[in-house]
Amino acid sequence: MTDEKSFDLITIGESLVELSSNQKLKDADCLHKYYGGDSLVVAVSARRLNSKVGFITCLGNDAFKDFMLSSWEKEGLDTGHIRIVDEKNGLYMVSRAAEHDKEFIYYRKRIAPAKLSIDDIDEDYIKSAKIIYASGITQSLSLAAREAVKKAFTIAKENGVITAYDPNFSTLITTKEDAKEYFEEIIEYTDILFMSSKYDTKSIFEIDSLENIMKNISDFGVQTIVIKSSPNKGYYLYNQHNTTFIPFYTDNIVDTTSSGDAFNGAFLSALANGYSNLEAAKIASIDAGLQAQGIGAIKSIPYYDEVYKIYKNEEP
């Protein structure tokens, strides 16, 4: 990584309108409008930690376009490679009633981000970043989107740009078989891999042993692996054949929606700014913990001063 890079991070993926309520959806009279999407959460998380961040997507030319575009510009994201298309934007509704399980409803068929293609991947733009990020959710949008991710990662690998990937498997979005296919297609181009022990590792490898999972993944040539373990309340960081455990920053959890994506953004932001993998994981744990103490995918993502004040006070 060099100082000549224009961006610390560029993410590729979908944007969705978020309509949320603290009541069960059947009881809610009002839904609060915001926005989400896993790669967008990663981008905003890094941006709020003062990183220079770009976002690549296709945005629908509908009633939500101006709201979302202006919101991202206010965040300070680079929007120069967002293409406006004549499709509707995706939508998800989420309920977080305290006494009930979280409810999710997705509307992702034939949406604007599915129009992502190799034409949206500008070689010079990819080369201008220290790190490129995409997920299995990005690949699930369409065959054209899969091709776009592969092109971006190929350009990155050929030009010394770090690549980071998260399968982000969800039965609401894709099948185990498709998730495995996405993973196998991109893993040889991946430097940093984020996975959830609850969803990704069991679905893709069908292995419970952490040691065997790490060995399977490292055999692909991945340099850095982070496995998020809800049962063990922390993160396993594998780097240079060493595994370190970093505990969750907090047990005071309100809403875990997209906290894993917030972790990814904070980790990559710290890495791009000279922190070691271990330091980056500690910073990211704080970021994700603070995000999970609030409600919403993006609303509750913390800012630089709060995260780094805690980090600096906790370090010996």
Q: Per residue in 198-213, pLDDT tens?
A: 878 877 877 667 777 7
**Which tokens is 197 given?**
């022990």
Answer with the residue of higher pLDDT: 26 or 212: 26
Asked, for residue 182, whether it belongs to a domain, the answer is: no
Asked, for residue 159, whether it belongs to a domain, the answer is: yes
Quote the number of domains for the chain.
1
Does 2 have pLDDT greater than 50?
no
Rg of the Cα atoms in the chain: 18
Asked if 204 and 183 count as a contact pair (C-beta separation under 8 A), the reply is yes
> Whole-angstrom Cα distance, residue 238 to residue 251?
23
Give the whole-number percent of the chain exceeding pLDDT 70: 96
CATH number at residue 302: 3.40.1190.20
Asked if 190 and 150 count as a contact pair (C-beta separation under 8 A), the reply is no
**Which tokens is 43 given?**
């981008």
> Whole-angstrom Cα distance, residue 38 to residue 293?
18
Asked if 172 and 143 count as a contact pair (C-beta separation under 8 A), the reply is no
C-alpha distance across the termini of the chain, in Å? 28
What string of H, E and C letters represents the secondary structure of 227-244? EEECCCCEEEEEECCEEE
> Whole-angstrom Cα distance, residue 148 to residue 58?
12
Contacts (Cβ under 8 Å, ≥6 apart) of 225? 192, 193, 195, 214, 217, 218, 236, 237, 238, 239
Does 228 have pLDDT greater than 70?
yes
Asked, for residue 224, whether it belongs to a domain, the answer is: no
Q: Where in the sequence is the domain holding 29, given as residue range(s)? A: 7-167+250-311
Strands 53-60 and 82-85 turn out to be: parallel
> Whole-angstrom Cα distance, residue 26 to residue 44?
31
Asked, for residue 176, whether it belongs to a domain, the answer is: no
Asked, for residue 175, whether it belongs to a domain, the answer is: no
Asked, for residue 19, whether it belongs to a domain, the answer is: yes
Q: What is the pLDDT of residues 245-263, one digit of tens each?
A: 999 987 777 767 788 999 9
Contacts (Cβ under 8 Å, ≥6 apart) of 289? 248, 249, 250, 259
Asked, for residue 15, whether it belongs to a domain, the answer is: yes
pTM of the model as a whole? 0.94
Asked, for residue 198, whether it belongs to a domain, the answer is: no
Asked if 16 and 38 count as a contact pair (C-beta separation under 8 A), the reply is no
Q: What is the pLDDT of residues 119-132, one digit of tens each?
A: 999 999 999 999 99
